[in-house]
Amino acid sequence: MKRIAFFDTKAYDKEWFDACNQERFEIEYYESKLTAKTVGLAAGADAVCAFVNDDLSAGVLGRLKEMKVSVIAMRCAGFSNIDFKALGEGMRVVRVPAYSPYAVAEFAMGMLLSVNRKLHKAYNRTRDFNYNINGLTGMDLYGKTVGVIGTGKIGQVFISICRGFGMKVLAYDPYPNGKLDCDYVELNRLFRESDVISLHCPLTEQTRHLVNAEAIAEMKSHTILINTSRGGLIESRALLNALQEKRIGGAGLDVYEEEAEWFFEDHSTEGIVDDILSLLTVLPNVLVTSHQAFLTEEALRNIALITLQNLEDYFAGKPLVNEVLPAMK
């Protein structure tokens, strides 16, 4: 039986992978992330199963190759944490390109509703028997303009949700899809005209810091920015400055540039040493969540089923429909 070293395991991963595995593979679950320090745990494994914040840089990949691990099964869509230059021959990468675009798009709308109507503030107030509603004013989404950056699987679902709210949709994508109910425009116009901006493109060399100080300077002072894609799309310091100086309306952030250090773990006892994340977290018009947009039962089931099928295909020598190739980076 082939052995999988499964890194960064959470209770919900084990639950769904055990349910879907049906004893096809021997899965060793490790709570630790894959790093240069923990890579030794993969000794004797045929495959590694990794997640968004695992370290797949050159050093770690080199060690995995020495240990004869020949396939990395990413249990996520994104792969910006893999050093493809270091991958070379003899090691292949598979992923789960789509598991539930609804999970992420619905969460993005949830963040927007929360930031706009201050639900996160209201929740804290009423829990304290404070029924004052001063300062909780939002805007109607009906008739407002939303700018959607990236109109792939998740962006498309988000667009149809926004249309359901009666919003006008502007979109930017280097590969426009003529069938969508939106107007494709240049990025500058999207930044200038949108009341809400939601990011749904991958993190690449071209998109890193797509939302930087210059982009934010174009935005309206009430614009709400939603990021459920990857933290590196936003220059966090520039966003924090703009929020503090009230040059932008608010932000919903499910991802953060330096999240690998903090997200998915409980740091409530010792706190965190990241001034930007700390300040973003406590600003009243910001909602930070810990990369949970994917977290629905349907998504978890699909992630487990597709990851295990990817591995079964690899070991059976079948074509890998979900292979990640360096050219995709």
Based on its alpha-carbon atoms, the radius of gyration of the chain, rounded to whole angstroms, reads: 21
Q: Please tell me whether residue 231 binds ligand NAD under the rule CB under 6 A.
A: no
Our CB check for ligand NAD shows the closer of 59 and 78 to be: 78
Closest CA to 328 of 177, 204, 208, 207: 204
Among candidate residues 75, 95, 200, 291, the one labeled active-site is 291
Instruction: Establish whether 222 is a catalytic residue.
Output: no
Q: How far is the CB of 227 from ligand NAD (least distance, A)?
A: 9
Site for ligand NAD contains 255 (CB under 6 A): yes
**261 near ligand NAD, judged by CB under 6 A:** no
d(CA 252, CA 289): 8
Which of 47, 77, 93, 286 binds ligand NAD (CB under 6 A)? It is 77
* 71-74: strand order across its sheet: 26-29, 3-6, 47-50, 71-74, 92-94
**With respect to ligand NAD, which residue has the nearer C-beta, 188 or 244?**
188
Residues in 9-38 at the binding interface with ligand NAD, rule: CB under 6 A:
none
Quote the CA–CA distance of 329 and 326 in Å, as a whole number. Answer: 6
SS3 203: coil
H-helix or E-strand containing 123?
Answer: helix 119-127
Residue from 9, 81, 116, 207 that binds ligand NAD (CB under 6 A)? Answer: 207
Which residues on neighbouring strands pair with residue 6, listed in sequence order?
29, 49
Complex with ligand NAD: residue 27 or 103, whichever CB lies closer: 103
Binding-site size, ligand NAD (CB under 6 A): 29
List binders of ligand NAD among 95-124 (CB under 6 A): 98, 101, 104
- In sign, the C-alpha dihedral spanning 229, 234, 236, 242 is negative
The residue whose Cβ lies closest to ligand NAD is: 152
Give CA–CA dist 223/147, Å, rounded: 10
Q: Is 230 a catalytic residue?
A: yes
CA angle (29, 32, 36) in 5-degree steps: 115
Work out whether 201 is an interface residue with ligand NAD (CB under 6 A): yes
What is the arrangement of strands in the sheet containing 286-288, beginning at the earlier edge strand? Answer: 183-184, 168-172, 145-149, 196-199, 224-227, 250-253, 286-288
Residues 106 and 154 sit within 8 Å (Cβ to Cβ): no
Cα distance between residue 135 and residue 129, in whole Å = 16
- Work out which of 132, 134, 137, 206 binds ligand NAD, going by CB under 6 A: 206
Nearest approach, Cβ of 118 to ligand NAD (angstroms)? Answer: 22
x/- mask, ligand NAD, residues 124-163, rule CB under 6 A, reads -------------------------xxxxxxx--------
Choose, from 230, 258, 267, 270, the residue flagged as catalytic. 230
Single-letter amino acid, residue 129: F
Least distance (Å) between residue 229 CB and ligand NAD = 4
Residue 202 engages ligand NAD in binding (rule: CB under 6 A): yes
Amino acid at 73: A
Stretch touching ligand NAD by CB under 6 A, among 135-143, 235-243, 266-274, 288-296: 288-296
Can you give the binding site for ligand NAD, defined by CB under 6 A? 77-78, 98, 101, 104, 149-155, 172-175, 200-202, 206-207, 228-230, 254-255, 291, 293-294
What is the set of active-site residues?
Answer: 230, 259, 291
